[in-house]
Structure formats: structure tokens, C-alpha cells
Amino acid sequence: MSAIALVTGGNRGIGSAIAKSLTAAGYTVIVTYRSGPAPAEYKSVQMDVTSTESVDAGFDLIEQTWGAPEIVVCNAGVTKDTLSMRMSDEDFEDVIDANLTGAFRAARRATKGLLKLRRGRLIFIGSVVGLSGSAGQVNYSASKAGLVGMARSFARELGSRGITANVVAPGFVETDMTATLDEKRRDEIAKSVPMQRFCSAEEIADVVTFLASPQASYITGAVIPVDGGLGMGH
């Protein structure tokens, strides 16, 4: 069997596009889903990244059934946007728990298998707002900024074993997450992007697939922007 790639939150949006791209590149792809039915197109396991038990059980099942993932894409994420004055502790903690601690839970568990393989890739889906900040997204921006320090620490801990850790930082991407924006706000955002448009999920997936490839073997601790120029200078 070809190398195993795992994508958390791979049942829809960017995660699903990443799963499709990695499949086309020849990997055996496993996606995780939290709610809803298992996606028909991919091998899948149920996993809630806010639960250590769920993450560990999901990895146990993957390893027993298919083997240890060599490519691990920590993509699952949520938003709970509101201005900081109105943001409750719960709003803040829930987003950190899913986006930052959730990625940590998955990456920590994945490391066991990667160390045995003595090669592999940790790829974290961050965001342009992790470095630029974003009004109404104190929780989300903090979670995505945290991924940068986390990826770089994994890069330092695991580099000698041939394992890389990087962040892909998208700008605004056409998915359910941005579908709630009204047309006026979408136009404003598109005009603020040098490329004058939103990104497709496939454009993020292509970069993730490159980072997974042997061609990216010496890239680690990097934050790769895929944001149409929105975050230039950060």
C-alpha cells in the first residue's frame, strides 16, 4: 500500500479538497469526520479533536486497520466570531481547544508512528489572520498564531528524524466557513486582496500536496501563505 495520509476534518471544505489532491498524488488517504455520516469517497474514522480519547482511539483504529500515517494534515477548525468585548471565556476557549489544542492532540499522537518510520510530514492549516490579526476573531487569530509556534517547536524536536512540520496559511477560501458572509462583506474582502478574489479549496490543497511530497523534504518550520497577497509583509 502507498504511504498513508491523514486529514482531520476531511469530510468537507478545505479538508475534502486536500484529501482529493493527496489521493490523486497516489497516497492512501484517510479522513476524519466529527458529525454526520462517514464520507463515501474516502477511508474514514470518526474523531473529535477536542477529545484526547477520541483522537487516540481514532489513531489506534487507523494504525490497526491501515498502518501509521506518514502525512498528517491538521485541518479541523472552527470559528466563533464576535468582538472581544462580547467574547465569553467559552467562546475563546472552545476555539483554542478545537484549532490549537486539537491540532496538538493529533500531532502528538501521530508522532509515535512518524518516529518509528523516521520520516513524515506534519502540516497545520493556519490562517493569514494568525499573523495579521482580525477584528472579531481574537480567539481564532490566537489559535492560528499558536499553530506557528507549535509547528516550529515540532520542527525542532523532530527534524533530526527526517520529519518536517509546516503551516499553510490560507486567506479567504470559498467554503462553508466563509459562506455566512453577506455579499457586501464578500465584495469588500475580495477588493482588499491583491488577487481581487477568494481562494478555492483546491488552491490550498495543491500547496499541502507539495509540502507532503519528496520535493519539499528540506522545508520545515515554514509558514506558507496561500492568500492572494492579503498578508504580504507579515
Site string for ligand NDP, 176-205 (x = CB under 6 A): xxx---------------------------
Residue 11 or 166: the one with the smaller Cβ distance to ligand NDP is 11
Q: Quick count: other Cβ atoms within 10 Å of Cβ 90?
A: 11
CB of 108 to ligand NDP, least distance (A): 15
Cβ partners under 8 Å of residue 117, min gap 6: 68, 70
CB of 227 to ligand NDP, least distance (A): 8
Distance of CA 1 to the CA centre of its chain: 24
Query: Considering the rule CB under 6 A, would residue 27 count as an interface residue with ligand NDP?
Result: no
Distance CA(130)–CA(199), nearest Å, equals: 17
Count of residues in contact with ligand NDP, rule CB under 6 A: 30
Q: Is 218 part of the annotated catalytic residue set? A: no
Residue 3 or 7: the one with the smaller Cβ distance to ligand NDP is 7
Distance of CA 9 to the CA centre of its chain: 8
* Given 3, 47, 216, 223, the residue binding ligand NDP (CB under 6 A): 47
* Given 4, 72, 73, 125, the residue binding ligand NDP (CB under 6 A): 125
Decide the pairing of beta strands 71-74 and 223-226: unpaired
The answer to whether 137 touches 81, Cβ cutoff 8 Å, is yes
- What is the DSSP secondary structure assignment for residue 186, as one 8-state letter? H
Rounded to the nearest 5°, which phi and psi values hold at 27?
Answer: -80, 155
CB of 1 to ligand NDP, least distance (A): 24
DSSP helix/strand/coil, 45: strand
CB of 111 to ligand NDP, least distance (A): 19
In DSSP terms, 223 is beta-bridged to 167
Distance CA(90)–CA(205), nearest Å, equals: 31
Distance CA(88)–CA(170), nearest Å, equals: 26
The answer to whether 121 touches 211, Cβ cutoff 8 Å, is yes
* Given 27, 33, 59, 104, the residue binding ligand NDP (CB under 6 A): 33
* Given 172, 216, 220, 223, the residue binding ligand NDP (CB under 6 A): 172
* Given 21, 44, 139, 175, the residue binding ligand NDP (CB under 6 A): 175
- What is the DSSP secondary structure assignment for residue 204, as one 8-state letter? H
**List 27, 33, 140, 218, catalytic entry:** 140
The interface with ligand NDP within residues 84-113 (CB under 6 A) comprises 98, 102
Residues at the site binding ligand NDP, with contacts judged by CB under 6 A: 8-9, 11-15, 33-36, 47-50, 75-78, 98, 102, 125, 127, 170, 172-173, 175-178
The residues assigned a catalytic role are 140
